[in-house]
Amino acid sequence: MTRAMFVVLVVEDDAAIRSVLRTLLESQQYRVVEADTAARGVIEARGHRPDLVLVDLGLPDRDGLSVIGEIRKTSPVPILVLSARTMESDKVAALDVGADDYVTKPFSTPELLARVRAALRRNARGSERLPLIKLGALTVDLTNRSATGPEGSVHLTPLEYRVLDCLARNGGMIVTQAQLIREAWGPDRLGDARGLRSYVKMLRQKLEPVPSQPRYLLTEAGVGYRLLADEAPDGT
């Protein structure tokens, strides 16, 4: 799929920001559809079937959260929140109603474009499992549950694989602590944020070149984690 085929819906009431986003996205050959209210956003999402939706939370008619909830009722399209709200609780609320990721304003252009690419990649793959992830010199095979680095194989526990698997399936997007705990531990087993933190710490010891300065398994303070694997050589 070439980028020219991707349609990005921008739901944002600030005309100046919409214009910046349009210029930026069009420079990457994405097609842009704009909506300046929540109501318009929901209509355009149905009409244009975008490949990605960027949503501001502070909209004049209704809160952006309701746009996310409305779109989620009928569509699995990736939704990226672009908001000036920086509270952890705002981020968690947006992810809980179905957003895939969150970028705070003012945003950096490279960061926003990286999140857009990650969201579109995740969508192109759908729910297909990623067989292999590359983290620098390390290759993790999630299907066969093996990990190999320059010094040979690296042992990961089943729970560590489940944590990685959940992060990898979300391809670079934030995964909330609650979602990771639910998916890695399972509904009947007890997991908590503290347990998760210690597993993340152990995973970093095994996967990161410098565990104290993670490059791949990143923390979103108070919200959750994301896994930024290296891009596959074919650019998919």
Query: Where does this chain bind Ca ion (CB under 5 A)?
Result: 13, 56, 58
Least Å from the CB of residue 13 to Ca ion: 5
Max CA pair span of the chain? 57
Nearer to Ca ion, 13 or 165 (CB): 13
Of the CA atoms within 13 Å of residue 73, those in its CB half-sphere come to 8
SS3 content of the chain, % helix, strand, coil (to 5): 40, 20, 35
Considering beta carbons, is residue 56 or 100 the nearer one to Ca ion?
A: 56
> What's the closest the beta carbon of residue 86 comes to Ca ion, in angstroms?
14
Q: How distant is the alpha carbon of residue 47 from its chain centre?
A: 24
Residues 224, 174 contacting (CB under 8 angstroms) = yes
Shortest distance, CB of residue 59 to Ca ion, whole angstroms? Answer: 6
Name the residue type at position 72: R
DSSP β-bridge partners for residue 154: 147
**Phi and psi torsions of 141, nearest 5°:** -100, 105
Which residue's C-beta sits nearest to Ca ion?
58
- In the bound state with Ca ion, the residue whose beta carbon lies nearer, of 103 and 202, is 103
Which is closer to Ca ion, CB of 66 or CB of 179?
66
CB of 139 to Ca ion, least distance (A): 43
